[in-house]
A = this chain, B = another copy of it.
Amino acid sequence: MLEKIQKLLNEKKYSEVKSILSEQKFFDAAEILEALSDEQLPLVFRILPKDTAADVFAYMDSDAQEKLIHAFSDKELKEVLSDLYLDDAVDMIEEMPSNVVKRILRTADAETRKSINMLLQYPKDSAGSIMTTEYVSLKKDMTVEDAFKRIRQNGVDKETIYTAYIISANRKLLGIVSAKTLLLSPMECLVEELMETNFKSVSTTEDKETVAELFMNYDLLALPVVDNENRLVGIVTVDDAIDVLQDEATEDMEAMAAIVPTDKPYMKTGVFETYLKRIPWLLILMLSAAFTGSIIRNYEEALSHGYVILTAFIPMLMSTGGNSGSQSSVSVIRSISLGEISIKEIIPVIWKEIRVAFLCSITLAIVNFLKLLFIDKVSIAVCVVVCATLVVTVFIAKFIGCTLPIITKCLKLDPAVMASPFITTIVDAVSLVVYFQIATRVLGI
Residues of A participating in the B interface, judged by any CB pair closer than 8 Å = 23, 25-27, 148, 151-152, 155-156, 161-162, 179-180, 183-184, 198, 200, 215-219, 221, 238-239, 241-243, 245-246, 249-250, 252-254, 256-259, 265-267, 271-272, 274-275, 278-279, 281-283, 285-287, 289-290, 292-294, 296-297, 300, 303-304, 306, 308-309, 311-316, 318-320, 322-324, 326-327, 329-332, 334-335, 338, 340-341, 345, 348-349, 352, 355-356, 359-360, 363-364, 367-368, 371, 376, 421, 424-425, 428, 432
Contact = CB atoms under 8 A, between A and B. Distances in A.
Contacts of A304: 303-304, 306, 308
Contacts of A367: 283, 286-287
A303 B432 CA distance: 19
A314 B311 contact: yes
A315 B221 contact: no
Contacts of A26: 218
Classify the secondary structure of A's interface with B. helix
Given A320-B289, A359-B271, A179 B183 contact: yes
A303 B323 CA distance: 28
A323 B371 contact: no
Contact of A360 (B279, B300, B326): B279
A139 to B, nearest CB: 19
A332 to B, nearest CB: 7
24 contacts: A156-B184, A221-B221, A238-B238, A245-B245, A246-B338, A249-B249, A257-B327, A265-B338, A266-B331, A267-B335, A267-B349, A271-B352, A272-B359, A281-B327, A282-B320, A283-B364, A286-B368, A287-B371, A293-B315, A296-B311, A296-B312, A296-B315, A304-B306, A318-B319
A188 to B, nearest CB: 15
A315 B312 contact: no
A432 B221 CA distance: 54
A327 B283 contact: no
Question: 10 closest A-B pairs (Cβ-Cβ)?
Answer: A257-B330, A249-B249, A289-B316, A292-B315, A219-B239, A266-B335, A275-B359, A296-B312, A304-B308, A293-B312
B292 A331 contact: no
In the complex, which of the residues A238, A294, A312, A329 has the most CB atoms of chain B within 10 Å of its own CB atom?
A312
Contact of A152 (B183, B252, B287, B312): B183
Nearest to A306: B304
Which of A265, A292, A315 is packed against the most chain B CB atoms within 10 Å? A315
Contacts of A250: 334, 338
Contacts of A285: 319-320, 323
A217 B275 CA distance: 28
B256 A330 contact: yes
Nearest to A237: B219
A219 B278 CA distance: 32
B148 A161 contact: no
Given A249-B246, A267-B345, A364-B286, A323 B281 contact: yes
Contact of A253 (B183, B215, B279, B334): B334
A319 B274 contact: no
A200 B293 contact: no
Given A180-B155, A256-B253, A278-B360, A312 B297 contact: yes
B279 A359 contact: yes
A265 B340 contact: yes
A315 B432 contact: yes
A242 B245 contact: yes
Most chain B CB within a 10 A radius of its CB, from A278, A292, A376? A278
A410 to B, nearest CB: 18
Contacts of A315: 289, 292-293, 296, 314, 318, 428, 432
Nearest to A421: B323
A346 to B, nearest CB: 12
A270 to B, nearest CB: 9
Nearest to A332: B266
B296 A303 contact: no
Nearest to A58: B219
Contacts of A215: 242
